[in-house]
Copies of this chain bind each other. A is one copy, B any other.
Amino acid sequence: MNILILSALSIILAFLPPSLAEVNKAYQDERNKILQEEEKLRLGYDVTLQGDEEKADQIFLRLKQKELQDGFENVEKNLPGMHYYKAKPLLDESKVYQLIRKMPKGALLNVHPPGAVTSKWILNNILNKDNLRKCTNENGVQLLTFRKKFDGCKSESVQVSKGEAKEDWFNLYTPTPEVTFKSSEAAFNQLCDMFDRIDDALNYLPMLKAHYRQFLEELYADKVLYTEVRVKFSEPYDDTSKKYSLDDVVKEIENVVNDFKKTHPDFIGLKIIFAILRHGKEDEIRKNFDLYKNLRSKFPNTIIGLDFVGWEDKGLALQPFADDFTSATRDGSKLFLHAGETNQLGSTDQNLVDALLLNTTRIGHGYALAKHPYLMRDVKEKDIAVELCPVSNQVNSFVEDLRNHPGAILMSENVPVVLGNDSPGFMDFDGLNPDYYYAIMSLTPYQAGLKTLKRLVENTIKYAQLTDQEKTQAETLLKAKWNEFIKEILKEGE
């Protein structure tokens, strides 16, 4: 073919419009490329599934997508768009939820023990005790104590009577959250009252031990291998006049954990983040840093670091305590700072800036982080895990429909995320299951399956404060339990 014919052909081709099929092909290719580029950014994209995992993923996705489709067609079945308390009675019917219940959860890294144990256990094991007394404090909040005389009481203390209805003393559940929790205030006020109410009853040594034991039992039943708990320390007491110190709290907890590990060799353990309540006067709060340093020096393996806890919007900011935090962590201990658990923008959420400046190891909640792209990139670069607690945020009325939870944004950019459940007992959760359910059904795309779940679970071990030996043990255990989980999914496909 000579050059003239070639040129003529080129001209003809240039004028021929491409056939529809060709346009579509090019368009579809480009479309798929974009979808893939986007997919590459998401949490879990780089997880490799192998063998049975791939089959299990297909089964899981079929169930997930059917459930999303059913909800899309019938709003009464749309659990991913429903408040957890509305969805709760329906979740048992969900195949996805049933599988999530069987999934190993790795570690639980955001939890407050007083609020972690089921209200039913509290009702049956604390509230029915003959020597339990109640009174009201200076704010009119009802407190419980096993002491004959308790300084926290501003009213006379009286014995708690057997007949009293106590079901909702430690349970926020309501079938109509849209009415009960019209604002964060409504939920937080109740939640804070519960923490205040139980505080001194849990300082009673027999209860402290029984409560921690139950906490571990419930964690274990929830398929959690390891936990890092925020503990707000007070001196414990018993029926004698013996004085106890904060050291005794650590020792008692260590004893309970060691006991538990004897009967549950596949439980790795519990470490403590020293929690300072951010409410109160600056100088009072500051004294806690000394208590921390003292305790940390004595129990360096159990006490791993510190945090401020409590209602972030109404408590003190991190900023005034910057030097205290810096000084407290000179010994190599870590910060696990709650920051950005707020709907405010340009005020409370600035705790995120301080958390990062103070080199926090993880961020508690980080609800406001997605509105701070500069900080979000910093978090990702520094590989700081965000302890997302979606269902807790929902119960606390930060967000109604979890499809709007900012965790969706964080996960779309593969910001390191671990799921926590904050106060699962007081909030009437079913362990970590609701959080994992909403994460996979509401916060991630239609196409997100086991890769996402696996990464979320693996992250809890990756971002935990484990020794090398503990980490190896945890990874080995998790791997075995994950494989069992895969087998459970495969059964669904039979």
Contact = CB atoms under 8 A, between A and B. Distances in A.
A408 interface: yes
A287 B244 CA distance: 84
A346 B31 contact: no
Interface string A343-374: 11111001001101100000000000011111
A490 to B, nearest CB: 24
Contacts of A371: 408-409, 412
A131 interface: no
Contact of A41 (B23, B183, B374): B374
A353 B31 contact: yes
A408 to B, nearest CB: 5
Interface stretch (A6-14, A201-209, A399-407, A466-474): A399-407
Contacts of A319: 31
B323 A24 contact: yes
A398 B401 CA distance: 8
Counted per complex, copies of this chain come to: 2
A78 interface: yes
A447 B404 contact: no
Contact of A401 (B41, B400, B408): B400
Given A34-B353, A413-B373, A446 B346 contact: yes
B183 A78 contact: yes
Interface in A1-30: 20, 23-24, 27, 30
Task: Categorize the interface residue count of chain A.
Answer: 35 or more
A345 B375 contact: no
A375 B34 contact: yes
A322 interface: yes
Interface in A398-439: 398-401, 403-404, 406, 408-409, 412-413
Contacts of A30: 357
A75 interface: yes
A191 to B, nearest CB: 15
A10 to B, nearest CB: 22
Contacts of A121: none
A460 interface: no
A75 B185 CA distance: 7
A41 B373 contact: yes
A372 B326 contact: no
Contact of A370 (B24, B350, B409, B448): B409
A35 interface: yes
Contact of A403 (B185, B345, B375, B408): B345
A72 interface: yes
Nearest to A347: B446
A404 B399 contact: yes
Interface in A25-66: 27, 30-31, 34-35, 37-38, 41
A79 to B, nearest CB: 12
A145 interface: no
A444 interface: yes
Given A31-B357, A346-B445, A399-B404, 18 more contacts: A23-B326, A27-B357, A31-B353, A34-B353, A34-B356, A34-B357, A34-B375, A38-B375, A41-B374, A72-B313, A72-B344, A72-B347, A81-B343, A178-B178, A345-B444, A370-B370, A370-B409, A400-B400
30 contacts: A20-B323, A24-B322, A27-B323, A27-B357, A31-B319, A31-B354, A34-B357, A35-B350, A38-B373, A38-B374, A75-B182, A78-B183, A178-B179, A343-B403, A344-B446, A345-B403, A345-B408, A346-B445, A346-B447, A346-B448, A347-B446, A370-B370, A371-B412, A373-B409, A373-B413, A398-B401, A399-B400, A399-B401, A400-B401, A406-B409
